[in-house]
Amino acid sequence: MRVLVTGGAGYIGCLVVEELLKNNHKPIVFDMFNWGKEAIEPYLDQIDLFEGDCRNSRDIIYALEGVDAIIHLAGIVGEFACNSNSKAHFSINIESTRTLINCCTDPELDLVRDFIYASSCSVYGNVKGLYNEVTEETPTAPLSSYAHAKLRSEQIIFDRMKAVPHFHPTVLRLTTVFGWSSRPRLDLVTNLFAYNAWKKGELSIFGDGLQYRSLIHVRDIARAFVQTLEAPRFMRSGKIFHLGEEKNNKTVKKIAEIVKEQLPETKINMCPGQPSDRRDYRINCQRLKNVIGWEAEYSIEDGIKELIEKFETLNWDWESDKYRNSSFKYI
Ligand SMILES: NC(=O)c1ccc[n+]([C@@H]2O[C@H](COP(=O)([O-])OP(=O)(O)OC[C@H]3O[C@@H](n4cnc5c(N)ncnc54)[C@H](O)[C@@H]3O)[C@@H](O)[C@H]2O)c1
């Protein structure tokens, strides 16, 4: 398949590109390259590249030429980055989904039948005291503008599906990602803890640390996108799947302790008075495993070990804003 990957040069995207190539697909990377092209450099002779903005239908229409499927990853990620870039957040995280969907289903253009959207389990907010476990049927209650945008994008996609025969979208609601990718992100809880423990010998937990997070390794994510795309349409069309692993449902405190097991000198600072991320949920991930047959391969321990090895061996400027979406100024 010729697969358009929006955000294909990002943290998740570069590994999706690698996984598509491994499975003999042709990736077409569509990206604004906010973080540069380094992460996909090893594949440049095997992929097509489009530098464009997915808010712009002109850019998209040209990139869609001959495309069989779309994996839509482009976006502003995380609550802080969305709040501090509110106009870009609205136009990229909501309106660009509409633009992309309109272009790939417009009767004047060739229909792109298969579409996978990277949503987020943030849409559930805080379910403490309400539900022990969250399934795809659990009512959503987003707490952030980022999570609201994910839900609105899902709605745009499914509304269009009702109007367009043979359009087969799938929504993957991702749990929080961790682990190494050639476009590393050090602003995600596990990666941040691993980095601070390695660099400073200490890490800080805001709040009581008892809030649950659901985690998944970035390489497992990439494999799940490709496996879902390859699954027969009747299994995935119009469906929502959680993308995660129940074994990785951990409290923030436990994540810190796992980091400390690998870097035993680490001091864990409890900061109960500091405002913390209010999300709290344990995600049930059976549907994707049962229907698509995907399984996670990497543990949290594996991910942390590899991150520490990279910090040790690569002489990169780890303090750079390039590795933290929260500091980026989106236009
Ligand atoms: N990382 C996570 O924990 C996580 C969890 C749930 C969902 N997601 C979703 O997965 C997707 C990818 O996240 P990531 O962690 O790889 O982020 P990232 O910031 O590393 O990658 C996003 C990519 O999108 C590109 N981009 C941004 N705006 C664009 C635009 N208007 N047009 C074209 N390209 C644009 C950026 O240049 C970047 O390469 C996002 O949609 C995110 O919401 C991520």
Cβ-based neighbours of 139, under 8 Å, separated by 6 or more: none
- Token output for 98: 């509409």
Is 308 a pocket residue for ligand 1 (Cβ < 6 Å)?
Answer: no
Contact 18, 183 (CB under 8 A): no
Phi, psi of 168 (to 5 degrees): -125, 75
Phi, psi of 135 (to 5 degrees): -105, 180
What's the confidence (pLDDT) of residue 278? 86
**Rounded-to-integer distance, Cα 60 and Cα 39, Å:** 22
Report CA(73)–ligand 1 centroid distance (Å).
5
What's the confidence (pLDDT) of residue 45? 98
Hey, what domains does the chain have and what are their CATH numbers?
Answer: 2-177+216-243 (3.40.50.720), 179-214+247-280+298-327 (3.90.25.10)
Name the residue with the closest Cα to ligand 1, atom 30: 53
Scanning 11-114, the segments in alpha helix (DSSP H) are: 13-22, 57-63, 79-83, 86-89, 96-105
**Rounded-to-integer distance, Cα 265 and Cα 280, Å:** 28
Report CA(244)–ligand 1 centroid distance (Å).
18
**Residue to substitute in 4, 11, 57 for testing ligand 1 pocket (most ligand atoms within 8 angstroms of CB):** 11
**Residue to substitute in 12, 29, 96, 221 for testing ligand 1 pocket (most ligand atoms within 8 angstroms of CB):** 12
What's the confidence (pLDDT) of residue 153? 98
**Rounded-to-integer distance, Cα 297 and Cα 24, Å:** 21
The residue behind tokens 């870097």 is 263
Cβ-based neighbours of 10, under 8 Å, separated by 6 or more: 31, 34, 35, 39, 73, 74, 183
Report CA(268)–ligand 1 centroid distance (Å).
30
Contact 279, 126 (CB under 8 A): yes
Report CA(249)–ligand 1 centroid distance (Å).
23
Cβ-based neighbours of 158, under 8 Å, separated by 6 or more: 169, 171, 238
How many degrees, rounded to 5, is the angle at CA 187 between CA 315 and CA 331?
100
Report CA(269)–ligand 1 centroid distance (Å).
30
| C-alpha dihedral (30, 33, 35, 36), degrees to nearest 10 | 110
Antiparallel, parallel or unpaired: β 249-251 and 212-217:
antiparallel
List per-residue pLDDT tens for the chain, 331 residues long. Answer: 999 999 999 999 999 999 999 999 999 999 999 999 999 999 999 999 999 999 999 999 999 999 999 999 999 998 889 999 999 999 999 999 999 999 999 999 999 999 999 999 999 999 899 999 999 999 999 999 999 999 999 999 999 999 999 999 999 999 999 999 999 999 999 999 999 999 999 999 998 999 999 999 999 999 999 999 999 999 999 999 999 999 999 999 999 999 999 999 999 999 988 877 888 889 999 999 999 999 999 999 999 999 999 999 999 999 999 999 988 888 8
**Rounded-to-integer distance, Cα 284 and Cα 81, Å:** 27
What's the confidence (pLDDT) of residue 277? 82
What's the confidence (pLDDT) of residue 242? 98
Name the residue with the closest Cα to ligand 1, atom 21: 10
What's the confidence (pLDDT) of residue 18? 98
Contact 88, 133 (CB under 8 A): no
**Rounded-to-integer distance, Cα 117 and Cα 291, Å:** 17
Report CA(52)–ligand 1 centroid distance (Å).
14
Which pairs with CB-CB distance under 8 Å and at least 24 residues apart come from 43-46? Answer: 43/17, 43/18, 46/21
The residue behind tokens 């594949």 is 43
